[in-house]
């Protein structure tokens, strides 16, 4: 008998001792009793003795042998995550697993659908005809069953041949444990020749060479390239050499909507089974198989959103983080990790290169490049011959005549009309969905607020609803002011719906398509919309940031951006950096083919230095100034910071709790603790929220401080009705 320490998803930073009949490797999934329930846990280590008396140690209920145990380097990643982000190890480990592997039962019992193929009696002796059919039957006769996806990958017509074999009764579907396939197929992952990519430009070529030359050791590269400069092609070449070395590749992207097109590109260059996609919108079964395919080495290229940073890949030889500046690489609840920063940790542990790609590198990453820790690789030009960067200019909105037709300036209206005549596409960018952001009464000053958040309700006129964009709370549009009875309620400000109406009025003949998360909610709708844009059946696109990222629209030659000024004046020190990245990204949609592009930024601050840098294409100049400002003001990356947040029904309780927590903080001269204050969105979904900001000039000092402080906070009981967490390197204040 042995004693093992098991990680469980419970909000206590402890491991739990259980007895096991046989020795269990760290990383093994087990089912254990916990209180009166059973839970799934992961064995982290075996110990010689326990602090619990031997007679009271409970035995493990079941060892889940349907997946290989998690590798030591994966456990090391989880331990680092738990330590750095101050969360219980069990919470980190269990939440990194796909949902199906978190349930206390074997995969086959979780209602798995058939994923394997086996020969029937007829099939066992059927004649071999046709190349693909022969190799499928031969593979099955050598050993069966086989995973359907493996057999499908045996030839271009694999899927249809299998359908035919099923139809003829030569093979049958079975459910199999995918992990049982570990040692079976060693798939041919060498890219299917011919390698039909475009010829690399000189800049792409030298970027590829620089990363290739740095293999075999940890090296971080910042791939700094304007939109359209061909970063993806660099990724593909590097992935190819990595796979050819027998190593695996991890590719992280910020948005789910970016995965389908990248997936297509990677599959077309490599093979279908070599590439697995991981993101939260995939079905549970697919998530489990992608995980297992990575774990047993069948898929050696993982493409996914932030959660894929935990993909259990073997022999990682390259990590790529695309759009590394994007805030959605940071998890905003539970374990609040930065996938980019964990990716750097993984690359360091795996002693392999990492490529951080962006047209607007984050200031954190850029300052590492300035300090010589990361290497800056530039792709200064658009890769496609003849494709030019768009001309950007500001439109001064200070004059009374500048504002017409619901926020569009005469300059913008004329430019839109011109594109219509030339049969080119335009994009109007407004990062606010709904009809109007506020509904108010001009008689008494009443405004419609969310009952659960410190936020106004947004008017959605098409559905005649008011909706909270923070918590989803909704209600009908009142017929009269609930405060004074005035029947003439006014929607203030504008969102994409209102702008759509205005554009329709201005250009009755134009085909207008609004793309925001309201119109793309139905599955597959977004892809359909993108296709209709490509097909040329849209004249004016209107949308939020959902449109800004990654998509190529060859006929698009004009971008108009509205309502950018709020970000210039925001209190959040990261707002200018984000605004620059967003505008650069939107601007990058214009002129991707041979047609020249034009970008019009409507603003009341046309001479703002941010716009001047954007117009001259000088991101690094802007970044240098921002870094100097942050250094002067004592903001990251010049210093390190974390917040302790508390949430409660009443803001006073949250503040009181934080005050008590500060009393428990260890003393350190290099640590500054600020006073508890309400968060900028002080109420969210019924919870009042406050925080305490903690800063230090040294990351290591902050880490040591947080470890000690959180141990004391976990040991002290929180008062009822207050919940708290620590957020390290926070993005939200
Ligand atoms: Zn009123
Ligand atoms: Zn709300």
pLDDT tens digits for 483-522?
999 999 999 988 999 999 999 999 999 999 999 888 888 7
**Separation of CA 434 and ligand 2 centre (Å):** 15
Give the Å distance between the CA of 448 and the centre of ligand 1.
10
Measured in Å, residue 443 CA sits from the centre of ligand 1 at 5
Ligand closest in space to the Cα of 475: 2
**173 CA distance to ligand 1 centroid (A)?**
66
**What does the pLDDT average to over 8-16?**
94
pLDDT tens digit string along 636-672? Answer: 999 999 999 999 999 999 999 999 999 999 999 999 9
Residue 548, pLDDT > 90, answer no
Ligand 1 centroid from CA 566, angstroms = 27
Say which residue the tokens 């930024």 belong to.
601
Of the listed ligands, the closest to the CA of 683 is: 2
Q: Output the pLDDT for position 286.
A: 85
Q: Which ligand gives the minimal distance to the CA of 457?
A: 2
CB 481 within 8 A of CB 443: yes
User: Under 8 Å CB-to-CB from 264, ≥6 apart: which residues?
Assistant: none
Ligand 2 geometric centre to CA of 432 (Å): 16
**CA atoms of 4 and 133, how far apart (whole Å):** 49
Q: What is the per-residue DSSP string for 362-410?
A: -HHHHHHHHTTSEEEEEE-S-SSTT--PPEEEEEE--SGGG-BTTTB-H
CA of 684 to the centre of ligand 2 (A): 6
- Ligand lying closest to the C-alpha of residue 458: 2
Q: How confident is the model at residue 364 (pLDDT cuts 50, 70, 90)?
A: very high
Q: How far is the CA of 482 from the centre of ligand 1 (A)?
A: 7
For residue 466, give the 3-state DSSP assignment. strand
Mean pLDDT highest for which of 245-254, 457-466, 581-590?
Answer: 245-254
The arithmetic mean of pLDDT across residues 696-710, rounded, is 97
Q: What pLDDT, on a 0 to 100 scale, did the predictor assign at position 446? A: 95
- Which ligand number lies closest to the CA of residue 687? 2
Please write the tens of the pLDDT for every residue from 368-419. Answer: 999 999 999 999 877 776 667 889 999 999 887 776 667 899 999 999 999 9
Ligand nearest to the CA of 446: 1
> In b/e form, how buried is each residue of 164-195, taking b as 16+ CB within 10 angstroms?
ebbeeebbbeeebbbeebeeebebebebeeee
> Which ligand has the shortest distance to the CA of 471?
2
Q: Strand pairing of 677-684 and 687-696?
A: antiparallel
CA of 491 to the centre of ligand 1 (A): 13
CA of 449 to the centre of ligand 1 (A): 14
Judged by its nearest atom, the ligand closest to the C-alpha of residue 449 is 2
Cα of 480 vs centre of ligand 1, distance in Å, is 8
Residues with a beta carbon under 5 angstroms from ion ligand 1: 441, 443-444, 446, 481, 483-484, 486
Asked whether residue 111 carries a pLDDT value surpassing 80, the answer given is: no
pLDDT at residue number 528: 85
* Ligand in closest contact with the CA of 450: 2
**Ligand whose nearest atom lies closest to the CA of 482:** 1
Altogether, the residues listed in the chain come to a count of 733
Among 167, 161, 105, CA closest to 133: 161
pLDDT for the residue 6: 97
Report CA torsion sign: 355, 358, 360, 364: negative
- In angstroms, the Cα distances linking 474 to 187, 345, 448, 466, 670 are 51, 42, 11, 5, 47
pLDDT of residue 3: 95
Burial state string for 242-255 with b = 16 or more CB within 10 A and e = fewer than 16: bbeeebbbbbbbbb
Q: Residue 163: in which H helix or E strand, if any?
A: helix 158-167
Q: Of 563, 566, 562, 543, which Cα lies nearest the Cα of 553?
A: 543
> Which ligand sits closest to the CA of 441?
1
Q: Please state, in angstroms and rounded to a whole number, the distance separating the CA atoms of residues 504 and 512.
A: 7
Q: Look up residue 128 and give its DSSP letter.
A: P
Nearest Cα to 313, choosing from 278, 266, 339? 278
What is the whole-number distance in angstroms between the Cα of residue 441 and the centre of ligand 1? 5
Query: Residues 433, 562: contact at Cβ < 8 Å?
Result: no
Residue 327 and residue 372: Cα distance in Å, rounded? 24
Cα 450 to middle of ligand 1, angstroms: 17
Map 39-90 to HEC letters: EEEEEEEEECCCCCCHHHCCECCEEECCCCCCCHHHHHHHHHHHHHHCCCHH
Q: Is the pLDDT of residue 128 over 90?
A: no
Smallest-distance ligand from the CA of 444: 1
Provide the pLDDT for residue 385: 66
Cα–Cα distance measured from residue 623 to residue 222, given in angstroms and rounded to the nearest whole number: 14
- Ligand having the closest approach to the CA of 481: 1
Condensed to tens digits (0 to 9), the pLDDT of residues 592-642 reads 777 789 999 999 999 999 999 999 999 999 999 999 999 999 999 999 999
CB 468 within 8 A of CB 458: yes
pLDDT band at 208 (very low <50, low <70, confident <90, very high): very high
Ligand 2 centre from 685 Cα, in Å? 5
Query: CA nearest 544: which of 517, 520, 573?
Result: 517
pLDDT one-digit tens code per residue, 185-195: 334 344 444 56
Ligand (nearest to CA of 488) = 1
Q: What is the chain's alpha carbon radius of gyration, rounded to the nearest angstrom?
A: 28
Tell me the mean pLDDT in the region 80-98: 97
Q: Which ligand has the shortest distance to the CA of 681?
A: 2
3-state secondary structure of 129: coil
Residue 640 CA: distances (Å) to CA of 71, 324, 730: 31, 19, 10
Overall average pLDDT of the 552-575 stretch? 88
Nearest ligand to the CA of 685 is 2
Q: What is the CA(679)–ligand 1 centre distance, in A?
A: 29
Helix (H, G, I), strand (E, B) or coil at 500: helix
Q: Which ligand is nearest to the CA of 686?
A: 2
| Ligand 1 midpoint to CA 430 (Å) | 29
pLDDT at 185: 39
Distance 457 CA to ligand 2 centre (A): 8
Q: Which residues of 342-356 are buried (b: 16+ CB within 10 A; e: fewer)?
A: bbbbbbeebebbbbb
**8 alpha carbon, distance to own chain's centre:** 25
Ligand approaching nearest to the C-alpha of 484: 1
Neighbours of ion ligand 2 (CB under 5 A): 450, 452-453, 468, 470-471, 473
446: burial class by Cβ within 10 Å (0-12, 13-18, 19+)? Answer: middle
- Ligand 1 centroid to Cα of residue 487, in Å, is 8
Contact assessment for residue 42 and residue 70, using Cβ atoms and an 8 Å cutoff: yes
- Output the CA 450–ligand 2 centroid distance in Å: 5
Closest among 549, 552, 529 to 541, alpha carbons compared:
529
């Amino acid at each position: 008998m042995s004693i093992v320490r098991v990680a469980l998803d419970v909000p206590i930073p402890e491991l739990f001792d259980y007895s096991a009949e046989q020795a269990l490797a760290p990383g093994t999934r087990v089912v254990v009793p916990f209180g009166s329930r059973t839970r799934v846990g992961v064995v982290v280590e075996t110990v010689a003795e326990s602090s619990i008396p031997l007679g009271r140690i409970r035995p493990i209920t079941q060892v889940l042998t349907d997946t290989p145990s998690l590798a030591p380097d994966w456990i090391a990643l989880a331990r680092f995550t738990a330590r750095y982000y101050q969360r219980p190890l069990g919470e980190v480990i269990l939440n990194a697993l796909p949902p199906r592997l978190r349930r206390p039962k074997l995969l086959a019992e979780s209602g798995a659908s058939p994923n394997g193929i086996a020969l029937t009696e007829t099939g066992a002796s059927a004649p071999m005809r046709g190349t693909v059919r022969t190799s499928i039957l031969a593979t099955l006769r050598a050993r069966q069953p086989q995973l359907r996806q493996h057999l499908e990958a045996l030839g271009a017509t694999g899927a249809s041949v299998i359908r035919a074999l099923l139809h003829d009764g030569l093979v049958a579907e079975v459910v199999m444990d995918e992990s049982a396939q570990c040692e079976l197929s060693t798939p041919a992952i060498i890219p299917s020749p011919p390698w039909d990519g475009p010829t690399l430009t000189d800049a792409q070529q030298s970027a590829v060479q620089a990363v290739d030359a740095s293999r075999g050791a940890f090296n971080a590269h910042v791939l700094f390239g304007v939109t359209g400069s061909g970063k993806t092609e660099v990724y593909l070449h590097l992935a190819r050499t990595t796979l050819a070395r027998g190593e695996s590749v991890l590719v992280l992207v910020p948005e789910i909507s970016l995965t389908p097109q990248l997936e297509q590109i990677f599959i077309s260059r490599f093979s279908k089974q070599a590439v697995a996609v991981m993101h939260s919108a995939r079905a549970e079964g697919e998530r489990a198989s992608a995980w297992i395919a990575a774990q047993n080495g069948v898929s050696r290229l993982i493409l996914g959103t932030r959660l894929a940073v935990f993909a259990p890949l073997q022999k990682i030889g390259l990590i790529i983080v695309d759009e590394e500046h994007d805030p959605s690489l940071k998890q905003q609840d539970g374990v609040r990790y930065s996938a980019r920063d964990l990716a750097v940790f993984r690359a360091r542990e795996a002693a392999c290169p990492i490529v951080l790609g962006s047209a607007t590198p984050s200031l954190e990453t850029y300052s590492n490049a300035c300090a010589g820790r990361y290497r800056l690789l530039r792709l200064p030009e658009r890769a496609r011959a003849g494709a030019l960067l768009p001309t950007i200019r500001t439109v001064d909105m200070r004059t009374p005549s500048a504002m017409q037709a619901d926020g569009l300036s005469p300059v913008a209206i004329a430019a839109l009309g011109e594109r219509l005549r030339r049969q080119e596409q335009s994009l109007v960018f407004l990062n606010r969905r709904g009809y109007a952001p506020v509904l108010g009464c001009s008689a008494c000053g009443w405004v419609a607020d969310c009952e659960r958040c410190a936020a106004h309700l947004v008017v959605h006129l098409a559905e005649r609803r008011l909706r909270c964009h923070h918590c989803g709370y909704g209600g009908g549009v009142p017929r009269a002011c609930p405060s004074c009875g005035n029947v003439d309620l006014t929607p203030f400000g504008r969102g994409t719906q209102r702008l759509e109406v205005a554009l329709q009025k201005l250009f009755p003949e134009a085909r207008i398509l609004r793309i925001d998360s309201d119109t793309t909610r139905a599955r597959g709708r977004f892809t359909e919309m993108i296709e209709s844009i490509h097909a040329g059946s849209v004249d004016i696109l209107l949308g939020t940031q959902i449109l800004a990222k990654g998509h190529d629209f060859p006929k698009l030659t004009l971008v108009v951006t509205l309502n950018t000024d709020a970000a210039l004046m925001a209190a959040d020190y990261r707002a200018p950096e984000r605004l620059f990245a967003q505008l650069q990204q939107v601007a990058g949609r214009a002129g991707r083919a041979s047609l020249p592009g034009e970008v019009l930024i409507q603003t009341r601050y046309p001479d703002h230095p941010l716009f001047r840098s954007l117009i001259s294409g000088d991101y690094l100049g802007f970044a240098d100034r921002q870094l100097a400002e942050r250094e002067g003001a004592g903001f990251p990356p010049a210093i390190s910071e974390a917040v302790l947040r508390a949430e409660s029904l009443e803001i006073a309780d949250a503040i009181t709790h934080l005050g008590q927590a500060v009393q428990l903080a260890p003393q350190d001269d290099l640590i500054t603790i600020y006073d508890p204050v309400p968060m900028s969105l002080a109420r969210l979904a019924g919870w009042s929220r406050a925080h305490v900001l903690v800063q230090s000039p040294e990351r290591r000092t902050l880490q040591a401080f947080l470890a000690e402080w959180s141990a004391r906070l976990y040991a002290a009981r929180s008062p009822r009705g207050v919940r708290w967490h620590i957020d390290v390197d926070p993005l939200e204040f």
